Amino acid sequence: MDTSTEGLAPPAPPASNAVAVAPGAPKPAGQRGKSPTAIAFARLRRDRVAMVSLGIFLFFVLIAIFAPLLAKLEGQSPTELHIDLIDRNGYPIIGVTGDHWFGIEPRLGRDLFARWVYGARPSLIVAGLVTLLTTIIGVTIGLIAGFVGGWTDRILSWVIDFVLSLPYLLFAIAVPAVLLTVFVGNAEGADATQVAEIRFVSLILVLSFFGWAGLARLIRGEVLSLREREFIQAARVLGVPTRQVLFKELLPNLVGPIIVSASIALPSYIVTEAGLTFLGVGLVEPTPSWGYTISTAVTFYRAHPIFLWVPVIGITVLVLALSLLGDAIRDAFDPRTRR
Amino acid sequence: MLLYILRRLASAISVVIVTLVASFALFFLAPTDPAGVICGNRCTAERLEAINESLDLDQPALTQIGLYMKGIVVGRDYVTAGGVVTECSAPCLGYSYTLGQPVTKMLAQALPVTMSIVFGGAIVYFFVGVITGTLAAKHRGSPLDKITVGGSLLINSVPYFVVALLVALYATVLPTSAYHPFLDNPVLWASGLLAAWLTLGLTNAASYTRYSRASMIETLGQDYIRTARSKGISERRIVYRHGVRAALTPVITILGLDIAFQLTNALFTESIFGLPGIGLLTLRAFAQYDLPVLMGGVLLGSVVLVLMNLVVDVVYTFLDPRVRLG
């Protein structure tokens, strides 16, 4: 597809000898033409901790995707109340049963297993979307700032520094408050589903707004050094359009840092989402979320520990697996790591 | 050097001013209806207007920002509906909508709490981290080293708020968390903060173990260490005198940035252990749509962050003579 678009300029020579090969495709271009990315993935496949972590992560992804199916298998829904199974003090009269695999919630009597499987969804959706958005924005801004230079770079660098020096958790609290008053008006009497939706969107927006700057700074630095390398100089001399230099020549060389940064960002956003929701400033009911369940379960932690521990174990295992995976990915992409 | 500091200061001030204007626009000029929030559900039109007037919300946007800035620099007067003049001296950040207290005073009460938590925690994680990291580097490759590295990776990967919550719920041996001012009773102050310090300290110590181990290993591979060894200096003296001193420089930089970060992000610790710092104040303000308090918290946070970053850069030149600011 390159050859047809490069009608005017003479086709650029393959930008790389050993340094730059298109990502993902581990086809040997000579006998020894393995790209750094391919080498890293080969290393990763041999890493047992990484593979187990990946398995756990995929397990949670499957749970999130098939949450309705799993709940149906159990025969429960995450919103149905079972008041008949709650005693006068608000405690459930049943424990773990064949009908309720993790028991039920105190006071409202909603099924805990159904809420748990549905709870995996917002965590993964929010964290996944934010990671995707921040990666796209960060890479684009970093590429432009590093490559174009001059005033563009100065302005973009200032913006990056500015975003990095904002107290981001405080903003994460403040911005949804403002968005809510803008869209819903006075908080009383607002429709719960609408509030939940706005909270969902504003959480993603706020986290994305503050998340891209770190990656942009990293990419800018990488581009500044790559820009002076021969293959880029050659491409420019040959008159390859800027956009093509950016995305066809530079980007493939940045795959390593981008993958590493995204794999470290993903678990951290899962924690942030659950943490903010736990504090009451993230997602709200009726969205079933682990952070929310943890915050309500705190009241019952002595009498009904399973209520607290099920979401705690869920989030801990997921984040642990993702962090170990991220760490392994970083090692795999780091040429200095000793094997 | 002085020129560098001045230039950095100018850029820091520009960041704070833009933050101020942006958050002011966000909080007060967006159609957020603060008067409606104060007035409540049964609100008459006259009362709404009176509130708008007393808070200068009827003024044009630029005048409002100007008044807010003037309040910070020289103070300002509020004229309430009955014609009563309330003087708010500089630095004035307005009054809380729900409590009626000056925001400056509320922040001044909350800041020492946050600082006590963060600096106390920092002492714990810095010393624990550096000691374990140095030991691991000294015995590199030994089982002790492997356990330290693996353990710190595990601790680092568990969500912080979950750890803090479990400590708060289950570690009943620790004294109950509460904040007592240091000047009233230092013993009560320390015991009330102990649980928070240990949680913040021991979870973060894991990162410092890794930083100082890596830095130490690099330092011990340097030529001057080999020279020291060849002079017959004892291994202990080499590691703890010659090594640690050089290896700590990058770790201290990270420490400064971490402290800055935690000063604005201590809200998990504060809310889980019930300590009334900046984070908890902002959280309460969020729950009550108390915009001036939110605004004050955000502003204070950005000033702290910007200042700490500047301090770290300047201190670094003293620690590492090779770094020249220019």
Query: Amino acid identity of B75?
Result: G
Note whether A162 contacts B15, CB cutoff 8 Å. Answer: yes
Query: What distance in Å separates residue A30's CA from the closest CA in chain B?
Result: 37
Note whether A161 contacts B15, CB cutoff 8 Å. Answer: yes
Burial of A5 (0-12, 13-18, 19+ CB in 10 A): exposed
Sign of the alpha-carbon torsion through B187, B188, B191, B196: negative
Confidence of residue B81 (pLDDT cuts 50, 70, 90): low
Q: CATH 1.10.3720.10 occupies which residues in chain B?
A: 103-319
Residues of B in contact with A324 (CB under 8 A): 153, 157
Which one, of A192, A170, A193, lies nearest residue A276 by Cα?
A: A170
Write down the ipTM of this complex: 0.81
Q: What is the mean pLDDT of residues A1-20?
A: 41
Return the percentage of chain A with pLDDT > 90, whole number.
17
SS3 of residue B85 by DSSP: strand
Let me know: does B321 contact B249? Beta carbons within 8 Å. no
Residues 144-183 of B with CB under 8 A from A: 153-154, 156-162, 165-166, 169
Confidence of residue A132 (pLDDT cuts 50, 70, 90): very high
Residue of A nearest to B307 (CA): A165
**Per-residue pLDDT at B32:** 60
d(CA A44, CA B174) in angstroms, rounded, equals 43
pLDDT tens digit sequence for A210-250: 999 999 999 998 898 888 888 888 988 898 888 888 888 88
B302 touches A: beta carbon within 8 Å: yes
Note whether B160 contacts A275, CB cutoff 8 Å. Answer: yes
B305 touches A: beta carbon within 8 Å: yes
Sign of the alpha-carbon torsion through A143, A148, A154, A155: negative
d(CA B242, CA B246) in angstroms, rounded, equals 7
Note whether A178 contacts B30, CB cutoff 8 Å. Answer: yes
Q: At residue B255, what are phi and psi to the nearest 5 degrees?
A: -60, -45
**Per-residue pLDDT at A336:** 63
**Per-residue pLDDT at A20:** 43
Q: Which of A173, A188, A315 sits opposite B286 (nearest CB)?
A: A173
pLDDT tens digit sequence for A81-90: 777 767 777 6
Is residue A136 scored above 90 in pLDDT?
A: yes
A314 compared with B52, residue with greater pLDDT: A314
Note whether B159 contacts A319, CB cutoff 8 Å. Answer: yes
Q: What is the mean pLDDT of residues B119-139?
A: 91
Residues of A in contact with B264 (CB under 8 A): 167-170
d(CA A319, CA B323) in angstroms, rounded, equals 38
Residue of B nearest to A181 (CA): B32
Residues of B in contact with A185 (CB under 8 A): 33, 36
B326 compared with B20, residue with greater pLDDT: B20
Q: Which of B153, B169, B298 sits opposite A174 (nearest CB)?
A: B298
SS3 of residue B79 by DSSP: strand
Say what the pTM is. Answer: 0.82
Residues of A in contact with B19 (CB under 8 A): 162, 166
Interface test with B, best of A171, A183, A290, A317 (most B CBs within 10 A): A171
SS3 of residue B324 by DSSP: coil
A93 touches B: beta carbon within 8 Å: no
Is residue A36 scored above 80 in pLDDT?
A: no
A-B C-beta contacts closer than 8 Å: 128
Is residue B135 scored above 50 in pLDDT?
A: yes
Let me know: does B226 contact B74? Beta carbons within 8 Å. no
Which one, of A180, A107, A330, A115, lies nearest residue B30 by Cα?
A: A180
Provide DSSP, A27-64.
--SSSS---HHHHHHHHHHH-HHHHHHHHHHHHHHHHH
Confidence of residue A31 (pLDDT cuts 50, 70, 90): low
Chain center to CA of B283: 15
Residue of B nearest to A160 (CA): B15
Instruction: Give A244's contacts (C-beta < 8 A, 6+ positions apart).
Output: A6, A12, A235
A167 touches B: beta carbon within 8 Å: yes
A38 touches B: beta carbon within 8 Å: no
Residues of B in contact with A272 (CB under 8 A): none
A212 touches B: beta carbon within 8 Å: no
Residues of B in contact with A186 (CB under 8 A): 33, 36-37, 41
A59 compared with A69, residue with greater pLDDT: A59
Burial of A261 (0-12, 13-18, 19+ CB in 10 A): buried
Place of tokens 């393995």: A34
**Per-residue pLDDT at A85:** 67
Helix (H) or strand (E) run with residue B78 in it:
strand B75-79
**Per-residue pLDDT at A39:** 83
Q: Provide CATH code, domain B103-319.
A: 1.10.3720.10
**Per-residue pLDDT at B121:** 93
Q: At residue A202, what are phi and psi to the nearest 5 degrees?
A: -70, -30
Instruction: Give B102's contacts (C-beta < 8 A, 6+ positions apart).
Output: B88, B92, B93, B94, B95, B96
Which one, of A63, A72, A69, A81, lies nearest residue A119 by Cα?
A: A63
SS3 of residue A283 by DSSP: coil
Average pLDDT, chain B: 83
Place of tokens 């001044």: B108
B306 touches A: beta carbon within 8 Å: yes
B274 touches A: beta carbon within 8 Å: no
Provide DSSP, A222-255.
HHHHHTTSHHHHHHHHTT--HHHIIIIIIGGGGH
pLDDT tens digit sequence for A155-188: 998 899 888 888 888 788 878 777 777 776 655 5
Note whether B37 contacts A181, CB cutoff 8 Å. Answer: yes
Is residue A51 scored above 80 in pLDDT?
A: yes
Q: How many residues does chain B have?
A: 326
Confidence of residue A140 (pLDDT cuts 50, 70, 90): very high
